Amino acid sequence: MSERITDIVERVRRFMESDVYPLEEHTNGEPFYTILPLLEQKRVRVKELGLWTPQVPEEWGGLGLTLSEFGQISEVMGRSPYGLFIFNCNAPDAGNIEVLITQGTDKQHEQFLKPLLAGDIRSCFSMTEPEHAGSNPVIMSTNAVRDGDDYVINGHKWFTTAADGAAFAIVMAVTNPDAESPYTRASQIIVPTETVGFDRVRNISVMGEEGEGWLSHAEIYYRECRVPEANLLGQEGAGFAIAQERLATGRIHHCMRWMGICERAFEMMCERVAARQLKEGVPLASKQTVHNWIAESRAEIDAARLLIMDTAEKIDNGGPDAARIEISLIKFFAAGVLHRVLDRAVQAHGALGVTDDTLLSFWVRHERGGRIYDGPDEVHKSRVARHILRKYGLRLAT
């Protein structure tokens, strides 16, 4: 790491240990809005320390970090469920900020981007539909029809993360149904959540938790939802291209956050097996099965981190197109490592591991979806395999 990023990482690490970890007692089923004032206090402190929105260019108030530099910080912040939110780097806000910076108009910057950068509001991203496979985002029924100077949106979405309490949604909707290419039929449109016709039906219960705030996943109906044409992001028909660009960097953020969770779970596992006595003078750590858990976890975490950081560097140097296959590789590989490390840590803790007395059960509930969202493992593996098989003269249909 460069001297600059080493200093920033160390400052973030110290703040996490002193101010963020103590808040984790509130993860045990306590409502989000009950602890939100505590989180907001920490956000003020982050601003005072000059560490706010480190992923954002300097001209927009951030630290102007490269993707690989931010990845290293994302791992440190990812060690706690509250880390990225407190630094204003949490999904989907981070992705919406990126899109608004690159695709937004001056008016959109004033109305939506600047309050989001300041942490005064939250946002959500509304793309997945229950009637269609989320792994194929070019197929959707939600449409936006021009009516004078407005778009009128109708459709049904779900797993719109963080819609609960969000000020606006960025919605993927079909605007050009007759376009020859399926990749140019949809657009991204900003919809304030107070708009008539924006109906958040419920926060979907996931593994026994309904969730609130940025930890929620909402079902939404858009019923004759009318917004100005000026709320279009970028060009009409560019929705898919914008989404792909957003997901490329977003997968680095997610994967390095997962490495933070892996490191924390790994430390918890090692501490547990070292302290837990099977009988007097015989720690759980003396068992060869435990040795396997420790060695395999260490190797997998290190390998995943190196693969993620190599991908981030390629994107930094050549853009998302320079690392299309690597982006798929890290998505399924890192998600698998996270799943296995958490499972070993739970097993090492025994009955304690499935209780809410540690963070392990929280992460198992909230991160199992990592092998599904942003493209399920199977889709990414298939993409990688098809790319490799082209070298052997095979061009397989998608």
| 330-350 pLDDT, tens digit each | 999 999 999 999 999 999 999
| pTM of the predicted structure, to 2 decimals | 0.94
C-beta separation of 204 from 210 below 8 A? yes
What does the mean pLDDT of the chain come to?
94
Reply yes or no on whether the pLDDT at 397 is more than 80.
Answer: no
Contacts of 72 (CB under 8 A, 6+ apart): 1, 5, 9, 256, 309
pLDDT at 395 (0 to 100): 86
Higher pLDDT, 249 or 343: 343
Reply yes or no on whether the pLDDT at 143 is more than 80.
Answer: yes
Handedness of CA 8, 10, 12, 18 (dihedral sign): negative
pLDDT (tens digit, 9 = 90+) per residue, 262-292? 999 999 999 999 999 999 889 999 999 999 9
pLDDT (tens digit, 9 = 90+) per residue, 151-167? 999 999 999 999 999 99
Reply yes or no on whether the pLDDT at 29 is more than 80.
Answer: no
Tell me, what amino acid is at 313? E
Separation of alpha carbons 255 and 338, rounded Å:
9
pLDDT at 239 (0 to 100): 95
Separation of alpha carbons 276 and 264, rounded Å:
18
Separation of alpha carbons 126 and 157, rounded Å:
7
Reply yes or no on whether the pLDDT at 145 is more than 80.
Answer: yes
Domains and CATH numbers, the chain: 3-104 (1.10.540.10), 123-233 (2.40.110.10), 240-392 (1.20.140.10)
Percent pLDDT > 70 in the chain is 100
pLDDT at 61 (0 to 100): 94
pLDDT at 152 (0 to 100): 98
Beta strands (DSSP E) in the chain are 123-126, 143-147, 150-161, 168-174, 186-192, 198-203, 217-228, 232-233, 277-279, 282-283
Nearest to 260 by CA among 125, 357, 359: 359
